[in-house]
Amino acid sequence: EVQLVESGGGSVQPGGSRRLSCAASEFIFSNYWMSWVRQAPGKGLEWVANIKEDGSETNYVDSVKGRFTISRDNAKNSLYLQMYSLRAEDTAVYYCARVKKAVHIDSWGQGTLVTVSS
Amino acid sequence: SYELTQPPSVSVSPGQTAKITCSGDALPQKYAYWYQQKSGQAPVLVIFEDYKRPSGIPERFSGSTSGTMATFTISGAQVEDEGDYYCYSTNPTGTQGVFGGGTKLTVL
Over residues A40-75, the pLDDT tens digits come to 999 999 999 999 999 999 999 999 999 999 999 999
pLDDT in tens, B7-26: 999 999 999 999 999 999 99
Contact A108, A1 (CB under 8 A): no
A84 touches chain B (CB under 8 A): no
pLDDT, residue B97, reads: 95
Tell me the average pLDDT across B21-39.
97
SS (HEC) of chain A: CCEEEEECCEEECCCCCEEEEEEEECCCHHHCEEEEEEECCCCCEEEEEEECCCCCCEEECHHHCCCEEEEEEHHHCEEEEEECCCCHHHCEEEEEEEEECCCEEEEECCCEEEEECC
Chain A interface, best mutation among B27, B90, B104, B105, by max A CB count within 10 A = B90
The whole-chain average pLDDT of chain A stands at: 97
The model's confidence at residue A101, banded by pLDDT at 50, 70 and 90, is confident
Min distance B24 CA to chain A CA atoms (Å): 16
Chain B interface, Cβ < 8 Å to A: 1, 31, 33, 35, 37, 42-45, 48, 54, 84, 86, 88, 90, 94-102
